[in-house]
Amino acid sequence: MSKTLIRYKNVSVCQKELCVLSDVSLDFREGEFVYLIGKVGSGKTSLLKTFYGELPVCMGEAEVLEHDMLHIKRREIPRLRRRMGFVFQDFQLLTDRTVYENLAFVLYAIGWKDKEAIKERIYQTLSLVDMTNKGYKWPSELSGGEQQRVAIARAMLNEPQIILADEPTGNLDEDMGRTIVALLHGLSRKGSLVVMATHNQLWLHEFPGRVCRCAGHSFREITDEDKENG
C-alpha cells in the first residue's frame, strides 16, 4: 500500500473572512497523479496553497507530509516546503540569471555547498526535461515551453515527495502543454505525488489520473461511474 502524503477530513479553506471551500475530504498518496479541475475562482489554487501553508486551514483535520496543517508553526513551513516542488503558470524564473544559475540558486538556498555535487544534480534534472544543452541560456532566450521545462527541473531538484502544479499549461499552446503534462505524469510514475490544477479537461483523457472538482464552495472526487455517465 502506497503511503498517504496529504490527508484532509472535513476541512474548510478560507481567505480572510471568506470560506472558499468547505467539507473537503481527500487522501492523496505517493505515486498518484491528481487533477484539480473547476472554473476560475472555484478554489483550486486556494486548496493548493493550503498544502504548503500559504493559506490557513480553518477547521477539520489536515495533514501534509506528517505536519498538522491546523496547528503548523510558521517556522516549520520552510522545512515542509523543502519536501515539495512547485510549478506555476508564469514560470517564475529569475530573469537576471541563466538557466544553470536559476537552479543553482535553489540548491544553495536549501543548504547545498559542494559545487561539483550542485553541478551534477543540475545536469541530472535538466536531462530529465531534455534541456541539458540550455544551461547557459537566459530565460528571455527560451520559448514558453522551454521555460516551463526549466521550472519543472527546478521543482525536481530536491527529489520532492509532492509536486504541486498550478495551471502549468495555461500560457502554452496545445502541443507544448501536452509535453509538459506528459513530463509531470511521468514524475508520478517515478513515485512523486503530483497534484495539478487545470481548467483544461483535454488532458484527463490523454493522461489518466484521479480527478477532483472544485465548484460552488464544494469539493468532490469524480468517480469512474461519474465519468461513464458523462
| pLDDT at residue 230, as a whole number | 52
What is the DSSP secondary structure assignment for residue 3, as one 8-state letter? P
For the cut 60, the answer to whether the pLDDT of residue 229 exceeds it is: no
Is 69 within a domain? no
Residue 141 domain boundaries: 32-52+77-228
- pTM, 2 dp: 0.92
pLDDT of 168-214, one tens digit each? Answer: 998 899 999 999 999 999 999 999 999 999 988 889 999 999 999 99
8 neighbors 62 (Cβ within 8 angstroms): yes
Q: Quickly tell me which residue has 490527508 as its cell.
A: 7
β-pair type (18-29, 4-15): antiparallel
Q: pLDDT digit string (tens) for 136-172? A: 999 999 999 999 999 999 999 999 999 999 999 988 9
The pLDDT, as a whole number, for residue 40 is 87
Helix (H) or strand (E) holding 48: helix 44-51
* Residue-averaged pLDDT of the chain: 93
Residue 207 is assigned to a structural domain of this protein: yes
* Domain contains 65: no
pLDDT at 1 over 80: no
* The three cell numbers locating residue 213: 472538482
Answer yes or no: is 95 within a domain.
Answer: yes
pLDDT at 8: 98
pLDDT category at 18 given cuts 50, 70, 90 is confident
pLDDT at position 32 is: 98
DSSP state of 2: P
CATH number at residue 98: 3.40.50.300
- pLDDT at 45 exceeding the cut of 80: yes
In a domain, 16, yes or no: no
Q: Give domain status of residue 149, yes or no.
A: yes
Tally of domains in the chain: 1
In 3D space, the residue among 228, 223, 168, 230 whose CA is nearest the CA of residue 195 turns out to be 168
Instruction: Note whether residue 70 is domain-resident.
Output: no
Is residue 203 in a domain?
Answer: yes
